[in-house]
Structure 1
């Protein structure tokens, strides 16, 4: 996917300023360190698995800038602390995407996830996506509430009752 328009300076409802850009392979160490500041529960929610740490292979995926079907976003504080990491990927239908977002535990409740997800939604709209989806554990109430507040609709996954699929449509 195009990464030219991924960059931006955002301000949350609380007045917190941060910078967002696409990830580069050189960011792997920064992203690895970032996950030391993410709760085990949030790692489980992000990857929908019980893994204890993020593997080198996952980190490479999360910092790749050459995958035409995925863009990875990183959010940085003014002092260069990595606050959040997100991914927008496309599957078989290039007009439908899947989004996943993780935030550092010590930066929650400042509106960063909201602004970052809004930025990704604007990116998806500019790139003519019809919709984006987020696959969430039913236990991840904060993410489900955030996505519902941002016009995502919740759907039951017929194959897995432990997850919910949230979709935001951009065009009828």
Structure 2
């Protein structure tokens, strides 16, 4: 089963960062992080123009739901550079939804790629069969990254502005 220790990841560009689960004391750090995210990325992450409220920060740092996992990616100097959520379905927990957001000044370093790869491995360890993400069609960078990682892209039911990207973890391609 998964452990709660920090994991040091290295991107293809050689950039290193640590990933760990979010904790209640991370709320202020998370609030500061979102001041370094572009308005478009906030819209893509939350699928709408969202001001990140105190309630949302609380939900990202404290979860009463055993099927929700919030992760923080921290540069080696401790700066929060990306956040990710894995929200699983009801037991027996075979399906999860992923959402990732990266600071504007840390894009194109491979952070999102490595963080998504880490989440996919975590999901496999949990026994999930699939992970998916709902993406705005305009978020071509995320959709292309997910395609490169073996996700399939399909129209999202009842909303032509969105797509559903899904990856079967039981037949995962080599990374």
Q: TM-score normalized by structure 1? A: 0.94
**Residue in structure 2 matching 1:60, options 37, 51, 58:** 58
Q: Distance in 1 between matches of 2:62 and 2:148?
A: 30
* Count, aligned residues: 170
Deviations 1:109-146 (A, max 9, x none): 00000000000000011111000001100000000000
Q: Is the CA contact 1:3–1:22 (under 8 Å) kept in the aligned structure 2? A: no
Matches within 5 A, 1:3-152: 4-5=3-4, 7-51=6-50, 53-92=51-90, 94-152=93-151
Q: What is the DSSP-based 3-state SS (H/G/I as helix, E as strand, rest coil) of the residue aligned with 1:97? A: strand
Query: Residue 168 of structure 1 corresponds to which residue in structure 2?
Result: 167
Change (3 A) 1:85 1:19: same
Q: RMSD in angstroms over aligned alpha carbons?
A: 1.4
Q: What is the DSSP-based 3-state SS (H/G/I as helix, E as strand, rest coil) of the residue aligned with 1:171? A: helix
Q: Is the CA contact 1:22–1:71 (under 8 Å) kept in the aligned structure 2? A: yes
Q: What is the DSSP-based 3-state SS (H/G/I as helix, E as strand, rest coil) of the residue aligned with 1:145? A: helix
Q: Distance in 2 between matches of 1:73 and 1:35?
A: 14
Deviation at 1:165, TM superposition (A): 0.5
Structure 2, unmatched stretches of 5+, are none
Q: TM-score normalized by structure 2? A: 0.93
Deviation at 1:155, TM superposition (A): 1.0
4+ runs deviating over 6 angstroms: none
Q: Is the CA contact 1:153–1:168 (under 8 Å) kept in the aligned structure 2? A: yes
